């Protein structure tokens, strides 16, 4: 007798079948998943076998989200599974109710296409993006207009006061891009001497590009006819900028006597979604928060190749397309970028000395071409190095450029073979220095270093012109008071300077008045700052918005913004020596006061301090992060009191005051707070302008096991979303809470959805 039978019964369970599809741990992007297996058998009988396919969420092994019920076929169609990881198993039952349950298998449903991007690696400090960082949101001042994606700066009809420093468009952009590109068409209408400059561009106060009217009117005609350059391309290497970037375009007149000339510019296609690169650069395709992506690329019209890393070894302009395909078969958008590969550096510069004073030197040279074998174009940037040497030295044969001190910022190169001048201040009297220079194109390819030149400064007094400069001024006041004003001095030298014999004046009602300051015994450290304010309420949030300590304060500090001049004097032997001057007696046009919008921006000195009476030596601080770093908040005050100007600030993260950040990568920060009676978690996610809906899932471990919190939020028209103080416990409707003990291992998953129902998932752990 068969041992499996007892009378008409059978107690042997059915045999687990072979599964055809899906295989274990498969990824799919299908809306419909078909589960299929072969027929099961039973040692007693293969007839009357029934199947029940059960599917559950991976995070809840007990909860079934879909079940076939008992069916007599070997397949089951499932529709409408949301994205996520699911377990599934098959139950097999014979007519005697013997049931076999298969092992759990897993299927991953992923319908989100990869979000891929391209980075470039070369002789700079980190990988840089080839992506769009520039939006269509600009801060404007003076004669400007924006229409049909063209920015016009400057007034093209006769207009007294159409000065180049008054007309500007400004925008802070995130760091991390490799190159800046724009097109310009520069115009001039001359009746008299040309504007120099008529159009220029600054990044963080540093001039990166400049044109005078000879660019549009090379014959210097003064017949009043309109001349223009036509549309030209400009490329600039951004790899040296680790901090947020303040980009400013200016155009207008340098001279405007009886409306005898006008200069203006049209600009379009401002972008960072391209790269200029040396021939030894490598390119890496990557994706946001996704792994196991297959990457593909093609260069120009060549065939598609697989791989995430490649090089371009042929100089010239190339168009690179790239994409990614994930394990579920989702394909990213195909993106195409322009890459210009350059293998030739500018030529070697011949450096000479023009003049020397007790604390400065003027160096001169001819501007090089973009490539050493050309006689046209321009290079992209200069780098100057210097070293103090012993006064017994008769030459610079021991000079090492790589070990020299570098000037932080200098002006942009002129077109090929023009005279260049650079004044370096802050040198010590009766001291020898060696200087050298090199230049780079936009790749960057660096030229050979120039011949080093030996300089000896003349003997001078203890404090000389330019040793102390007025570096920043807040004449606009603040949201607290129009008298919440301040100014900042800077020591440009390598030595500590005593302020005992220093006085500062301000023009008030056309009378030069001395500010009452007790500077006896006060000093400014080498390359340091000294902050002078009218109010002294640091940290008290009453009379002043300043959130940094002042070095000295005086109620006699006053400015006349319509007749604006500030001067520094050094008094010795009953003689007053002018040390520095800020502005020229006209209305202050750098800095910004918009009381109706609660905007109060300081004016900052350019890094090549130059002549402070020249308005071109100043620019407006538009760094939005400075509002939280240096002020009490509640309004839009901007400036960097007592700290490096915006061009040299630490790489603070930009705040989210500017719209159309749709190309930025969302970032999330998770914050755990533990109080005496309460434990909470908060999170902040930013750069979410392109998304309309957010869901979050927070899980964590505690002494009572794994815990979780869920939520969702509409986020249309937001750049940032904050969820504050999620309570780590269970709360009743009456408000009493039982707090989980020892919460740890926090895991936050945020899913963002855009208008096209495309999603991206961001995760953070703590």
Look up the CATH number of the domain holding residue 634.
2.60.40.1260
Q: Is the pLDDT of residue 5 over 60?
A: no
pLDDT > 70 in the chain, percent = 90
Domain membership of residue 658 (yes or no) is no
Per the CB < 8 A criterion, the answer to whether 241 and 206 are in contact is no
Structural domains counted in the chain: 6
Q: Is the pLDDT of residue 677 over 70?
A: no
Question: pLDDT tens for residues 581-619?
Answer: 999 898 898 888 888 888 999 999 987 788 899 887 888
Best mean pLDDT range from 346-355, 663-672, 700-709, 733-742: 346-355
- Residues 608, 687, single domain; the answer is no
Domain membership of residue 151 (yes or no) is yes
Cα 581 to Cα 506: distance, rounded to the nearest angstrom: 10
Structure tokens at 565: 């001049």
Q: Give 85: exposed, middle or buried? Use CB within 10 Å, 0-12, 13-18, 19+.
A: middle
Confidence label for 314 from pLDDT (cuts 50, 70 and 90): very high
Q: Is the pLDDT of residue 435 over 90?
A: yes
Question: pLDDT tens for residues 60-105?
Answer: 777 888 999 999 999 999 998 888 899 999 999 988 888 999 999 9
Predicted local confidence at residue 762, as pLDDT: 82
Predicted local confidence at residue 470, as pLDDT: 97
CA distances, 734 to each of 516, 644, 675, 737 (Å): 62, 52, 21, 9
Predicted local confidence at residue 740, as pLDDT: 86
Q: Is the pLDDT of residue 437 over 70?
A: yes
Angle at 563 between CA 557 and CA 569, to 5 degrees: 55
- Residues 507, 596, single domain; the answer is yes
**Mean pLDDT, range 121-150, rounded to an integer:** 81
Cα 557 to Cα 571: distance, rounded to the nearest angstrom: 20
- Closest to 564 in 3D by CA, of 294, 192, 165, 200: 165
- Residue 70: give its domain's CATH number: 2.60.40.10
- Residues 474, 443, single domain; the answer is no
Q: Is the pLDDT of residue 662 over 50?
A: no
- Residues 239, 282, single domain; the answer is no
Domain membership of residue 461 (yes or no) is no
- Residues 487, 624, single domain; the answer is yes
Q: Order the strands of the 511-514 sheet from edge to edge.
A: 511-514, 502-508, 566-572, 575-582
Domain membership of residue 662 (yes or no) is no
Domain membership of residue 654 (yes or no) is no
Domain membership of residue 696 (yes or no) is yes
- Residue 733: give its domain's CATH number: 2.60.40
N-terminal to C-terminal alpha carbon distance within the chain: 65
How many residues in total does the chain contain? 766
- Residues 403, 447, single domain; the answer is yes
Domain membership of residue 653 (yes or no) is no
Q: Give 430: exposed, middle or buried? Use CB within 10 Å, 0-12, 13-18, 19+.
A: exposed
- Residues 532, 630, single domain; the answer is yes
Cα 608 to Cα 407: distance, rounded to the nearest angstrom: 9
Q: Which of 248, 272, 296 is the last residue of a domain?
A: 272
Structural domain boundaries enclosing 338: 116-124+276-342
Q: Which of 215, 241, 272 is the last residue of a domain?
A: 272
- Residues 411, 522, single domain; the answer is no
Predicted local confidence at residue 540, as pLDDT: 54
- Residues 204, 60, single domain; the answer is no
- Residues 300, 324, single domain; the answer is yes
Cα 219 to Cα 231: distance, rounded to the nearest angstrom: 19
Q: Is the pLDDT of residue 20 over 50?
A: yes
Domain membership of residue 608 (yes or no) is yes
- Residues 267, 178, single domain; the answer is yes
- Residues 556, 639, single domain; the answer is yes
Q: Which of 323, 342, 361 is the last residue of a domain?
A: 342
- Residue 226: give its domain's CATH number: 2.60.120
Q: Is the pLDDT of residue 1 over 50?
A: no
């Amino acid at each position: 007798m068969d041992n499996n039978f007892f009378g008409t019964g059978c107690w042997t369970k059915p045999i687990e079948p072979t599964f055809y599809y899906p295989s274990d741990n498969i990824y799919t992007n299908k809306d419909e998943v078909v589960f299929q297996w072969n027929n099961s058998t039973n040692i007693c009988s293969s007839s009357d076998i029934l199947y029940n396919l059960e599917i559950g969420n991976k995070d809840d092994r007990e909860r079934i989200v879909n079940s076939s019920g008992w069916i007599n076929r070997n397949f089951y169609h499932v529709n409408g599974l949301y994205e996520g990881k699911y377990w599934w198993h098959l139950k097999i039952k014979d007519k005697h109710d013997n049931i076999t349950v298969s092992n759990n298998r897993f299927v991953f449903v992923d319908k989100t296409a990869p979000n891929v991007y391209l980075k470039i690696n070369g002789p700079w400090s980190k990988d840089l993006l080839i992506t769009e960082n520039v939006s269509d949101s600009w801060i404007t001042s003076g004669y400007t207009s924006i229409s049909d994606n063209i920015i016009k700066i400057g007034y093209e009809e006769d207009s007294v006061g159409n000065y180049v420093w008054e007309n500007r468009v400004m925008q802070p952009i995130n760091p991390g891009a490799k190159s800046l590109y724009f097109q310009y068409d520069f115009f001039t209408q001359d009746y008299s001497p040309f504007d120099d400059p008529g159009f220029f561009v600054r990044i963080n106060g540093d001039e990166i590009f400049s044109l005078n009217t000879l660019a549009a009117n090379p014959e210097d005609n003064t017949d009043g006819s309109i001349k223009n350059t036509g549309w030209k391309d400009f490329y600039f290497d951004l790899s040296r900028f680790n901090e947020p970037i303040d980009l400013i375009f200016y155009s207008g007149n340098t001279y405007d006597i009886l409306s005898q000339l006008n200069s203006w510019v049209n600009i379009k296609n401002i972008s960072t979604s391209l790269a200029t690169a040396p021939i030894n650069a490598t390119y890496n395709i990557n994706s946001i928060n996704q792994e196991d992506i297959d990457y593909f690329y093609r260069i120009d019209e060549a065939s598609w190749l697989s791989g995430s890393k490649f090089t371009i070894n042929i100089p010239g302009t190339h168009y690179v397309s790239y994409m990614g395909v994930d394990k579920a078969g989702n394909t990213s958008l195909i993106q195409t970028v322009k890459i210009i590969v350059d293998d030739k550096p500018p030529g070697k510069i011949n450096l000479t000395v023009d003049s020397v004073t007790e604390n400065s030197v003027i160096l001169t040279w001819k501007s090089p071409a973009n490539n050493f074998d050309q006689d046209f174009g321009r290079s992209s940037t200069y780098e100057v190095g210097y070293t103090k040497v012993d006064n017994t030295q008769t030459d610079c044969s021991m000079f090492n450029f790589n070990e020299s001190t570098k000037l932080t910022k200098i002006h942009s190169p002129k077109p090929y073979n023009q005279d260049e001048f650079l004044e370096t201040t802050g040198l010590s009297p009766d001291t020898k220095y060696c200087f050298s220079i090199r230049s780079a194109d936009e790749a960057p390819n660096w030229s050979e270093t120039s011949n080093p030149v030996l300089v000896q400064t003349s003997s001078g007094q203890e404090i000389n012109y330019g040793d102390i400069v007025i570096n920043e001024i807040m004449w606009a006041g603040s949201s607290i008071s129009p008298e919440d004003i301040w100014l900042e001095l800077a020591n440009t030298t390598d030595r500590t300077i005593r302020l005992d014999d220093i006085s500062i004046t301000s023009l008030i009602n056309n009378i030069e008045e001395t500010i009452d300051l007790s500077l006896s015994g006060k000093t400014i450290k080498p390359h340091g700052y000294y902050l002078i304010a009218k109010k002294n309420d640091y940290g008290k949030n009453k009379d002043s918005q300043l959130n940094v300590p002042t070095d000295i304060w005086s109620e006699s500090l006053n400015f006349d913004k319509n007749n604006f001049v500030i001067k520094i004097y050094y008094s010795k032997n009953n003689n007053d020596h002018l040390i520095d001057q800020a502005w020229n007696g006209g209305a202050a046009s750098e800095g910004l006061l918009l009381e109706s919008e609660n905007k109060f921006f300081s004016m900052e000195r350019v890094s090549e301090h130059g002549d402070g009476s020249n308005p071109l030596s100043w620019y407006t601080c538009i760094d939005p992060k400075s509002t939280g770093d240096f002020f009490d908040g509640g309004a839009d005050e901007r400036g960097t009191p007592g700290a490096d100007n915006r061009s040299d600030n630490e790489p603070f993260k930009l705040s989210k005051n500017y719209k159309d950040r749709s190309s930025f990568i969302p970032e999330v920060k998770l914050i755990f707070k533990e109080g005496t009676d309460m434990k909470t978690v908060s999170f902040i996610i930013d750069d979410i302008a392109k998304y309309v809906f957010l869901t979050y899932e927070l899980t964590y471990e505690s002494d009572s096991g794994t815990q979780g919190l869920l939520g969702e939020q509409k986020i249309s028209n937001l750049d940032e979303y904050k969820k504050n103080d999620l309570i780590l416990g269970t709360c009743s409707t009456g408000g009493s809470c039982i707090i989980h003990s020892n919460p740890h291992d926090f895991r936050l998953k945020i899913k963002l959805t855009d208008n096209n129902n495309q999603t991206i998932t961001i995760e953070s752990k703590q």
